[in-house]
Amino acid sequence: MKTYKGIIFDLDGTLLDTINDLTDSVNDVMKIYGWKEYDSEACKMMVGNGFRKLIQRALPEEKQKDEMFLDEAVDQFSKAYQKRYLNKTIPYEGILKLLGTLEEKGIKIAVNSNKRGDYTNALVNKYFSQFSWIAVYGEREREGIPKKPDPSAALEIANHMNLPAEEVLYIGDSKTDMETGQNAKMDTIGVAWGFRGAEELRENNATYIVEKPEAILEYVI
């Protein structure tokens, strides 16, 4: 079996279960305007492409292309999430043990998320500061780095790892993550415990699909 020396992880839906804080923050915006609120299962299908796309998907259809209104709604969401983002978020069961084992075995690890960079770094520092990360990347469009599924950030991380792409696994829970890995010419692991589930991962040609974090170890050790 092929083994790998580095892993790039998605954050939301892969390492951290953030959906309840995201849902509550979306609903704070919906309440302001008197619109229908969402449950967490509905929000799972809207996340993954950054805050702006999340709010755009949550808005009534007639408001989704109104850029000025969208700016306002995204600002309201950002204020709500700033207050909530550590309230209910937790690592998925088995993730801390997985990361500890990877570090013990000398596997290089990194995070690549479409979440805003300040939140990405704050969450990793809050829950995973005991681990040595090669890179922790959130959304970096202002630096000229496009969001996932563009492979630029993933390839930059592989370069920081001093590894060729074929020795790096890209791990996530969504179509966006599988496409990112494929665009970077990296093999992918789809995690079935995340926001989207195994069917979406199969449909988007995940190299491997795992049901539990410890199963990832089969591919790197």
* Residue labelled with tokens 């083994």: 3
Residue 195's SS3 state is coil
> What SS3 state is found at 1?
coil
Quick check: 2 pLDDT over 90? no
What is this structure's pTM?
A: 0.94
pLDDT at 142 over 90: no
Q: What is the C-alpha separation between 184 and 105, in angstroms, rounded?
A: 24
How far is the C-alpha of 157 from the C-alpha of 8, rounded, in Å?
A: 8
For the sheet with 133-139, list strands across it.
133-139, 108-116, 6-9, 168-172, 187-191, 208-210
| pLDDT value of residue 27 | 98
How do the domains of the chain map onto residue ranges? 6-17+89-219, 19-84
Coil vs helix vs strand at 52: helix
**Predicted local confidence at residue 83, as pLDDT:** 97
The chain-wide mean pLDDT, for the chain, equals: 96
In order, the DSSP letters of 60-71 are -GGGTT-HHHHH
The pLDDT of 207-220, averaged and rounded, is 97
Identify the band that residue 48 occupies on the pLDDT scale cut at 50, 70 and 90: confident
Model confidence over 166-186: pLDDT tens digits?
999 999 999 999 999 999 999
Give me 18's structure tokens. 């953030």
CATH (one of 3.40.50.1000, 3.40.50.2300, 3.30.930.10, 3.40.50.1370) for 6-17+89-219: 3.40.50.1000
**What proportion of the chain, given as a percentage, has pLDDT over 90?**
94
Q: Does residue 221 carry a pLDDT above 80? A: no
